[in-house]
């Protein structure tokens, strides 16, 4: 079952709450049915509390590391971070500040001023060209603010990538990442192929006619969507050209595989060349029935299943929280880890990062993700700990600290 249009790769929501007619967001937090809101919904303090020191990584790579544990209250329920062995990755980053100051673009439903990303989320650009679908009274413009009931979609994705480790709300994979929100989806959740192609180029810092240059070009582009208004028979030529251009620029494109339980190769961008296509697995490491599969899929990451989704902070959710599931939420796990790798070694190419993430993936518990051997999910489940270790132990200079890329 899909609660949203198929373009937004979200299979279902838990505790989503009801929405009124579309309104320009930020969406106010809905009052919780019981208890109190998550602490992150309170005003942010001027200075964060001191973070606990990191300790060295356990010498045994076969056992998930628990040597660093964020104090964010939602972390205890973020099973997805344990599944990708994020604590082991963070422990190895003690000398670099436990994250990487790398810019990630989220091409999605638009900007929400998330408290989890305070000071690190950028209102990028609105590429929705059809005023009727834009819902904000015009077509393309400089305000990428999300509009309508699906606005939370991009917010949750950004939070999964970069939520601060500050003792409030949730923990993100790269708590130093800058997130640039680029709006390509209308209020209907649909994406025009040309809007997506232009958004891709802009996000990576390439010129787009009639659009100001992006002053925050990204090394990683997260696309938890696919293009509409085209047949699902292969990668759209406009999108392929844009993917090739941003890849040549040095940016990695990460895409969700989509949620139709079908072969992902017919989808754009999941079926395009030079894309790291990610499908979903459950907490048990198996493909949920909604998740697309096939030879175009590079690896899997936690996407959850109905009734057991991915816990995340959201200003639009009841009590400041949502638990969505879908390949929308598998892709940002890979995007977040990719940003850590680029931060450790800025000279890495997109192809090298794709190779690192697939080569270090954890094998599926039964050797494959599905009982049907045709339904492939790539090399395994994303393993942040192993990927970071591979970069740290490889020859070559590491990244200087203190610079956002």
How crowded is the C-beta side of 6, counted as CA atoms within 13 Å?
Answer: 18
Looking at the predicted structure, is the pLDDT value of residue 164 above 60? yes
Looking at the predicted structure, is the pLDDT value of residue 325 above 90? yes
Looking at the predicted structure, is the pLDDT value of residue 103 above 60? yes
Closest CA to 118 of 164, 151, 156: 164
pLDDT of residue 158: 98
Contact 153, 95 (CB under 8 A): no
| Dihedral pair phi/psi, residue 74, rounded to 5° | -75, -15
Looking at the predicted structure, is the pLDDT value of residue 84 above 60? yes
- Which tens digit of pLDDT belongs to each residue from 189-229? 999 999 999 999 999 999 999 999 999 999 999 999 999 99
- Residues annotated as part of the active site: 108, 153, 328
- Whole-angstrom distance, CA of residue 400 vs CA of residue 96: 9
pLDDT interval class at 36 (50, 70, 90): very low
Closest CA to 179 of 244, 99, 242, 256: 99
Which residues lie below 8 Å from residue 205, measured CB to CB, with a gap of 6+?
Answer: 213, 214, 217, 218, 249
pLDDT of residue 5: 52
Provide, rounded to the nearest whole percent, the portion of the chain with pLDDT above 70: 80
- Whole-angstrom distance, CA of residue 174 vs CA of residue 343: 10
| More reliable by pLDDT, 232 or 98 | 232
Closest CA to 203 of 176, 188, 223: 223
Range with lowest mean pLDDT among 67-71, 162-166, 396-400? 396-400
Tokens 């980053």 sit at which residue?
93
pLDDT of residue 43: 27
Reported in sequence order, the residue ranges of 150-270 that DSSP labels E, i.e. its strands, are: 178-183, 220-223, 252-256
Closest CA to 103 of 213, 219, 223, 207: 219
Provide, rounded to the nearest whole percent, the portion of the chain with pLDDT above 90: 77
Query: pTM for this one?
Result: 0.85
Output the average pLDDT for the chain: 85
- Whole-angstrom distance, CA of residue 143 vs CA of residue 215: 15
- Beta 321-322 vs 299-302: how paired, if at all? unpaired
């Amino acid at each position: 079952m899909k609660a949203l249009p198929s373009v937004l790769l979200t299979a279902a929501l838990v505790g989503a709450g009801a929405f009124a007619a579309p309104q320009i967001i930020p969406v106010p937090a809905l009052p919780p049915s019981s208890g109190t809101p998550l602490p992150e919904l309170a005003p942010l303090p001027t200075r964060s509390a001191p973070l606990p020191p990191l300790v060295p990584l356990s010498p045994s790579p076969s056992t998930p590391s628990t040597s660093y544990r964020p104090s964010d209250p939602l972390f205890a329920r973020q099973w997805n971070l344990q599944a990708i062995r994020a604590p082991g990755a963070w422990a190895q980053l003690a000398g670099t500040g436990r994250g990487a100051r790398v810019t990630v673009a989220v091409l999605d439903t638009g900007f929400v001023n998330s408290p989890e990303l305070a000071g690190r989320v950028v209102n990028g650009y609105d590429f929705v060209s059809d005023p009727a679908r834009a819902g904000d009274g015009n077509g393309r413009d400089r305000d990428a603010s999300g509009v309508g009931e699906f606005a939370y979609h991009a917010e949750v994705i950004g939070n999964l990538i970069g939520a601060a480790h500050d003792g409030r709300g949730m923990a993100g994979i790269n708590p130093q990442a800058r997130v640039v929100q680029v709006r390509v989806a209308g209020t209907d959740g649909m994406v025009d192929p040309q809007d997506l192609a232009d958004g891709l180029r802009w996000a990576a810092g390439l010129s787009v006619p009639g659009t100001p240059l992006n002053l925050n070009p990204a090394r990683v582009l997260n696309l938890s969507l696919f293009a509409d208004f085209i047949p699902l028979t292969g990668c759209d030529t406009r999108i392929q050209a844009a993917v090739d251009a941003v890849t040549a620029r040095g940016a990695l494109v990460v895409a969700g595989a989509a949620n139709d339980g079908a072969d992902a190769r017919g989808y754009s961008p999941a079926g395009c060349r030079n894309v790291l296509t990610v499908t979903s697995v459950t907490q048990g490491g198996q493909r949920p029935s909604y998740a697309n599969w096939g030879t175009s899929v590079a690896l899997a990451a936690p996407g959850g299943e109905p009734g057991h989704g991915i816990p995340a902070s959201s200003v639009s959710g009841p009590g400041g929280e949502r638990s969505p599931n879908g390949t929308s939420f598998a892709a940002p796990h890979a995007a977040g880890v990719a940003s850590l790798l680029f931060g450790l070694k800025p000279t890495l190419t997109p192809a090298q990062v794709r190779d690192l993430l697939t080569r270090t993936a954890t094998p599926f518990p039964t050797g494959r993700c599905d009982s049907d051997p045709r339904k492939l999910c790539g090399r395994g489940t994303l393993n942040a700990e192993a990927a970071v270790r591979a970069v740290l132990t490889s020859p070559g200079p590491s990244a200087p600290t203190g610079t956002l890329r």
